Amino acid sequence: MTDKQSWTDRLFGGFRKTSEKLTSNITEVVGTAKLDDATLDDVEDALILSDLGPSAAARIRAKLAEKRFGLEITERELKEAVAEEIAAILRPVAKPLEITAFPRPQVLLVIGVNGSGKTTTIAKLAHLFQEDDYAVMLAAGDTFRAAAIGQLATWADRVGVPIVRGPEGGDPASIVFDAVKQATDVGTDALIVDTAGRLQNKRELMDELAKIRKVLGRLNPEAPHDVVLVLDATNGQNALSQIDVFKEVAGVTGLVMTKLDGTARGGVLVQAAEQYGLPIHAIGVGEKIDDLRPFDPDLVARVIAGVA
């Protein structure tokens, strides 16, 4: 089995709930030879039921009507057409993280609620950058939980990258300051900073992140260069509500979607793209270190539509 096929199989595993539902609904829809209003209504309903959301569903329906209304269409052709319209929504937000900052390092703040896969995503991002021959350093800025510091240190050791950390309950801004200084001194390309993901007290989190930004600004006015929100795809609509909160609290610049190897509702990706337009940098489909890959909108669209 090729790496590409293995990746597709795991991706389909994560999108199977959405794909099977959409495929089943489309199969039921195509009972006539022509794409008429009744069929389009049924397609739109099928898309909504498949977790793509009403806005994306309405957009896809309108595009299908514009291009294919009144024409004969088979089940396969309809699925291909749906895949193309889903891809059209996803392509503009498919933007891999690129290390372009000068002077170095490029500082990436990584945020997300506990349990979203944030810590492992940081390690996987580090590995992804290493594959492109970038020097990477981690900073354990989530000092609220001792477990978070320990987990990040374990991953840093596995990946083979240095980590700057402090005691539990320490000042995250001080740790970030030390990390930027060290990263600058040794010529690190990318500094990935773990941050607290506590949403119980938004004001406290906003203050903490504002302090980190202030410290970074003293060292490099352009930092942080990226604020990446890690989302657990299995949370469905709750993942979308987290985007709202973290956009307000942290100024999110892009997304990473994790846990797409289970029973995730893959349609949430389409909803996020349609509703927020934030870059989707990567998606995760497993626990292995290389199971985080740049977001491929065409592959994801074809998997969702059942034609991959």
Q: Let me know: does 93 contact 307? Beta carbons within 8 Å.
A: no
Which residues are bridge partners to 134 per DSSP?
Answer: none
Structural tokens at position 248:
């307000």
Q: Which residue ranges make up the annotated binding site for GTP?
A: 112-119, 194-198, 258-261
Q: Which residue ranges make up the annotated binding site?
A: 112-119, 194-198, 258-261
The β-bridge relationship of strands 226-232 and 254-258 is parallel
- Residue 60's nearest CA partner among 264, 303, 301, 306 is 301
Q: Let me know: does 58 contact 273? Beta carbons within 8 Å.
A: no
Q: Let me know: does 130 contact 290? Beta carbons within 8 Å.
A: no
Structural tokens at position 239:
């993942």
Find the largest Cα–Cα distance for the chain: 68
Contacts of 133 (CB under 8 A, 6+ apart): none
Which residues are bridge partners to 107 per DSSP?
Answer: 191
